[in-house]
Amino acid sequence: RFVGADGVLRVLQVHGERTRDQDGNPLREDGTGLDITELTRAEAALSESAARLELAQSMARLGSWGRYLDSDDGYWSDEMYRLLGYEPTAALPPPDHFIKHLHSGDRERFELVHQSFSEQEIDTYEIQARFIGADGIERILLLRGERTRDQDGNPLRIEGTAQDVTAKVQAERQITEAQFRLQENNQYLHTVVDTVQAALIISDPQENIILANQAAADMLGYTLDELKQIEPRAFVHPGD
């Protein structure tokens, strides 16, 4: 880096060489200086952008991959490796690397989609499947892929993402199970209330009737639907 007479900081790429005579004695020194300030800034911005992307993918548990069909060159993001239980490495895994980690229960379903995509029957796909990572951890991944074509319809590259949705799926299952248990409990409570011979009324803190049986309706002279629209205090004698 150099600070010019104008006070501006510049990054220069400097090249120099010494010329000698036939006896090896120095004759002159020549050199060039190339201003690469903007290039350095662009590289720094690109590096910062890549770091931000890696951080975002890590936080979202989202990996990305791509492969160029004319050369078989491609890439895996660092998070892509981690989702399958590997440490990030420069070596690009083979195209079928995913399949070796598939849970046996999801293998057939995944291979059908993968085959359709490989044979160009479809250009996009989305599938959720279980994978057993190299670290032995089972993860549920949401996979998306697409094929990009040129203007003549020829395939250029394939790209995709994989997102760890294990926690989301487990939470949804827990909610479903809790709702099912709640429904069972409510059905049991209604059964108990309906079989009780004595009048039974249950209200919430706001004095709304949330449950009543036929015995209570008969005793008070209402239908069940009418009874649930009345505040319990309406049944009480003003003197009490």
Q: What is the DSSP letter of 21?
A: -
Asked if the model's pLDDT at residue 36 lies above 70, the reply is no
The residues near 47 (Cβ < 8 Å, ≥ 6 apart) are: none
Contact between 177 and 195 (Cβ < 8 Å)? no
Contact between 177 and 169 (Cβ < 8 Å)? no
Three-class secondary structure assignment of 137-169: CEEEEEEEEEEEECCCCCEEEEEEEEEECHHHH
pLDDT for 130 equals 93
Question: With bands split at pLDDT 50, 70 and 90, how would you rate the model's confidence at 140?
Answer: very high
**Cα-flanking dihedrals φ and ψ of residue 229, to 5°?**
-95, 0
Instruction: Return the structure tokens found at 53.
Output: 């992307």
pLDDT in tens, 176-195: 787 778 777 777 777 776 77
Cα dihedral sign for 100, 104, 106, 112?
positive
What is the amino acid identity at position 55? L
Asked if the model's pLDDT at residue 139 lies above 90, the reply is yes
% the chain with pLDDT above 70:
85
The mean per-residue pLDDT over the stretch 111-131 comes to: 90
pLDDT for 137 equals 92
Say which residue the tokens 């400097």 belong to.
Answer: 14
Question: With bands split at pLDDT 50, 70 and 90, how would you rate the model's confidence at 106?
Answer: very high
**Cα-flanking dihedrals φ and ψ of residue 140, to 5°?**
-100, 120
pLDDT in tens, 58-82: 566 788 888 888 877 888 888 889 8
